[in-house]
Amino acid sequence: MATQLEQARAGKITAEMEAVAARDGMTPQQIRQGVEEGTIVVVAGNGRAGVATGIGRGLSTKVNASIGTSSDLLDVELELEKAAVAQESGADTLMELSTAGDLDNIRRRVLGAVTLPVGNVPLYQASHEAAARHGSSMGMTDDLLFELVERQARDGIGFMAVHCGVNRLTLATLKAQGGRSGGLVSRGGAFMSAWMSGHDCENPLYEQFDRLIDILHEYDVVLSLGNGMRAGAIADATDKAQIQELLVNASLADRAREAGVQAMLEGPGHIPIDEIEANVILEKRLSGGKPFYMLGPITTDVAPGYDHITAAIGSAWAAAYGTDFICYVTPAEHLGLPYPDDVRQGVMAARIAAHVGDMVKLGRRERDLKMGQARRDLDWAGQFALALDPERAREVRDLRPGSSGEGCSMCGDQCALKVGEAACE
């Protein structure tokens, strides 16, 4: 079966392209052309109808929410609840990142519980199964890794974060610069680095890249080239190891597209606000404009418990500069696995950031204009309808005195809008 990219090259507009166009206010031909050029990817999943999402140039900035078990918090029902909360809160995609339990069962249950495209990181399950079979994650073999990639793709995973760019040259660059102030924080990147060092061999995802691409092509999975060298502290942002991996990933993305597989690149991480634009420019220039999936970025290291805010600040700037896809960060970041309310807060913070960025990147300010007019007119129904989170807006208003009247408790009988109404006529 031809992939979305191959069909785009043949001039065919697929049902998935039409769905993306309708959602993002573009023509199907514009989506097809973007897929052909590599500036847009259409994410769906093997056999999962009606879940397509578009990511890339000209489209609204999309938001991913990540969930998943760990050895300290293994509760599948809780993960399913978090998946539902993420979808209800307006996430565009979901990443299932479990590292403990029956990972096949968890993945399949999550896929059945949502109508969002779902992504994952194959190395997580490879590490988990190697430890179960051989007593250590270092027992992972090439065949096990690629077997799991195919198993996950067959189940309906729509995009995979694959750590191909952590190769011998990238590791040599990391060592030559003296390591990292904040250490290696990517689980996939850290595992692959340790596995390569322990076996004194090349990363099979890099060395056997064609084998990986053959599987992704068969199931039309979007390749998301993982950022294993992303910074976990702003002191490490935009260092040599990160840029070396970006160079490798940019070349691999081209090879994937030559084989008919859609590709996007992932980015850092922790970035001070004055380096965000440079990171976006680098990715876009080196990749030829391929979609950029930014993790965060977290803009300061000193706000644990509030990292959904530090990331929202960075994500707004990143989206404005051209980032296409952002991964949410929850208040639990750096502290533990998120609970459902953390997921909701993380999704909403990221959605706000994406909207703020799109006001610049896409010039989309009509909704804000209408909101300003609804506030001027004290049109509460109109304000709630335009709000990114209508339920929360109603809840805040209803909990305060004066909610049944025309004004609100902020000004009471000194409502500025009423007082100044004559001056505006």
Q: Rounded to whole angstroms, how far apart are CA atoms 380 and 393? A: 10
Instruction: Quote the CA–CA distance of 279 and 294 in Å, as a whole number.
Output: 10
Residue 337 DSSP symbol: P
- Asked if the model's pLDDT at residue 73 lies above 90, the reply is yes
Residue 422: pLDDT band (50, 70, 90) is low
Report how far residue 351's alpha carbon sits from residue 328's, in angstroms, rounded to the nearest whole number: 8
Distances in whole angstroms, Cα of residue 75 to Cα of each of 69, 100, 219, 323, 344: 7, 10, 30, 34, 18
What are the Cα distances from residue 413, in Å, to 396, 404, 423? 19, 14, 18
- What pLDDT shows up at residue 243? 97
The residue type found at 46 is: N
pLDDT at 402: 77
H or E stretch covering 65: strand 62-67
Q: Are 158 and 221 in contact (CB under 8 A)?
A: yes
Percentage of the chain beyond pLDDT 90 is 92
The residue whose two tokens read 């909403």 is 348
* Residue span of the structural domain in which 57 resides: 4-361
Is the pLDDT assigned to residue 103 strictly greater than 70?
Answer: yes
Direct distance between the N- and C-terminal alpha carbons of the chain, in angstroms, rounded to an integer: 64
Residue 416: count other Cβ atoms within 10 Å of its Cβ.
Answer: 10
Region 85-89: mean pLDDT is 98
Which of 361, 389, 410 is at the close of a domain? 361
What pLDDT score was predicted for residue 17?
98
Amino acid 262: pLDDT: 98
Residue 259 and residue 136 in one domain: yes
At 366, the pLDDT band (50, 70, 90 cuts) reads very high
Tell me how far the alpha carbon of residue 188 is from its chain's centroid: 16
In angstroms, the Cα distances linking 141 to 21, 145, 188, 192, 212 are 42, 6, 15, 12, 14
Out of 361, 387, 406, pick the residue that ends a domain: 361
- Confidence class for position 281, pLDDT limits 50, 70, 90: very high
Please, what is the Cα angle at 189 between 260 and 253, to 5 degrees? 20
Task: Point out which residues pair with 224 in neighbouring strands.
Answer: 161, 264
- In the prediction, which pLDDT does 425 show? 66
Asked if residue 20 lies in contact with residue 44, where contact means CB atoms within 8 angstroms, the answer is no
Q: Which of 16-20, 39-43, 235-239, 418-422 has the lowest mean pLDDT?
A: 418-422
Q: What is the four-CA torsion angle of 226, 228, 231, 233, rounded to 10 degrees?
A: 120
C-alpha–C-alpha distance, residues 155 and 46, integer Å? 7
| Residue whose structure tokens are 């694959």 | 162
What pLDDT, in 10s, does the model give residues 245-275?
999 999 999 999 999 999 999 998 999 999 9
Domain of 58: which CATH number?
3.20.20.540
Q: Which residues contact 89 (CB under 8 A, 6 or more apart)?
A: 65, 343, 344, 347, 348, 351, 389
User: Is the same domain home to 399 and 290?
Assistant: no
Residues 125 and 240 reside in one and the same domain: yes
Q: Is the pLDDT of residue 211 over 80?
A: yes
User: Do 97 and 160 fall into the same domain?
Assistant: yes
Strands (E) located in 231-291: 263-267
Please check whether residues 289 and 387 belong to one and the same domain. no
Same domain, 269 and 135: yes
- Write the single-letter amino acid at 146: F
The two tokens of residue 20 are 């993306």
Within 8 A by CB and 6+ apart from 106, the residues are: 68, 69, 76, 79, 96, 98
The token duo for 257 is: 């597209």
Q: What is the pLDDT of residues 7-57, one digit of tens each?
A: 999 999 999 999 999 999 999 999 999 999 999 999 999 989 889 999 999
Residue 117 has pLDDT above 90, yes or no: yes
Residue pair 199/138 in contact (Cβ under 8 Å)? The answer is yes
Q: How confident is the model at residue 1 (pLDDT cuts 50, 70, 90)?
A: confident
Contact 187, 100 (CB under 8 A): no
- Asked if residue 421 has pLDDT above 90, the reply is no
The 8-class DSSP code of residue 400 comes to: S
Q: Is the dihedral of CA 65, 66, 68, 71 positive or negative?
A: negative
DSSP state of 119: E
| Rg, C-alpha atoms of the chain | 22
Euclidean distance between CA atoms 46 and 219, whole angstroms? 6
Mark whether 234 and 375 lie in a shared domain.
no
Query: What pLDDT does residue 137 have?
Result: 94
Say whether both 346 and 403 belong to one domain: no
Residues 268 and 352 in one domain: yes
- Same structural domain for residues 22 and 62? yes
Q: Please tell me whether residues 243 and 389 are part of one structural domain.
A: no
Q: In this structure, are 271 and 405 located in the same domain?
A: no
The residues, ordered by sequence, that sit 6+ positions from 59 with a Cβ below 8 Å of its Cβ are 20, 24, 26, 40, 324
Domain final residue, candidates 311, 330, 361: 361
- Count: domains in the chain: 2
Q: Rounded distance, CA 125 to CA 130, Å?
A: 8
